[in-house]
């Protein structure tokens, strides 16, 4: 079990367990969320949640990916945030995140991303973190820019979803340009 938090922030990140499967299904199986994350199965059922949790547990054991629940102070699961596709040689990784619709507009995603970036740059020794977003996902684009990511380009027809190819915007941030005064706490 891994828990990552930062003083002064309302959310914390924690390894998912099988006890989270029902909550993950409830908040992930929303057409608006699924439309913005082409890699997620639609519909998103219990089997998908159980497979994801097993995958996340294995990746954590190998320290290859860190797929974490975004939790509110009382432990309620609000969504997921991850550092994945870690390239240890080039010291870079991909950031991903999503929150259930009822948690939108409260700043929880931004807090989760700040914690994960702090973890990536300080604990994992990353030099670069990148994130992808569909151009129409305005909330995600705004969030990435608000924490210091810069638009690096467009990956044309990068994903196949809904019977068509979709572009992805790619954003990046370097450790040298990351400006945040949070201090993360890691509990293993």
Which CATH number is 40's domain given? Answer: 3.40.630.30
**What pLDDT is attached to residue 3?**
98
**What pLDDT is attached to residue 38?**
85
**What pLDDT is attached to residue 162?**
82
CA distance 171 to 10: 25
- Dihedral through CA 171, CA 119, CA 110, CA 151, nearest 10? -10
Q: Which two tokens stand for residue 101?
A: 């619709």
**What pLDDT is attached to residue 34?**
87
Can you tell me whether residue 169 is helix, strand or coil? strand
Q: How many domains does the chain have?
A: 1
Name the residue range of residue 48's domain: 3-187
**What pLDDT is attached to residue 111?**
98
Q: In which residue ranges of the chain is pLDDT below 50?
A: none
CA distance 83 to 131: 10
CA distance 21 to 139: 26
């Amino acid at each position: 079990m891994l828990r990552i938090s930062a003083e002064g922030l309302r959310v914390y990140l924690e390894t998912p367990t099988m006890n989270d499967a029902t909550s993950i299904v409830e908040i992930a199986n929303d057409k608006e969320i699924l439309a913005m994350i082409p890699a997620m199965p639609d519909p998103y059922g219990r089997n998908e949640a159980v497979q994801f949790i097993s995958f996340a547990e294995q990746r954590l054991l190998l320290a290859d990916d860190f797929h974490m629940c975004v939790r509110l102070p009382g432990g309620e699961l609000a969504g997921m945030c991850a550092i994945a596709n870690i390239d240890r040689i080039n010291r870079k990784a991909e950031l991903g995140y999503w929150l259930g619709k009822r948690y939108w507009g409260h700043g929880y995603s931004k807090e989760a991303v700040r914690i994960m970036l702090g973890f990536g740059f300080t604990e994992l020794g990353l030099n670069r973190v990148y994130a992808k977003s569909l151009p129409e996902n305005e909330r995600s684009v705004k969030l990435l820019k608000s924490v210091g990511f810069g638009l690096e380009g467009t990956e044309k027809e990068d994903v196949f979803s809904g019977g068509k190819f979709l572009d992805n915007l790619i954003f990046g941030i370097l450790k040298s340009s990351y400006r945040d005064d949070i201090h993360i706490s890691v509990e293993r």
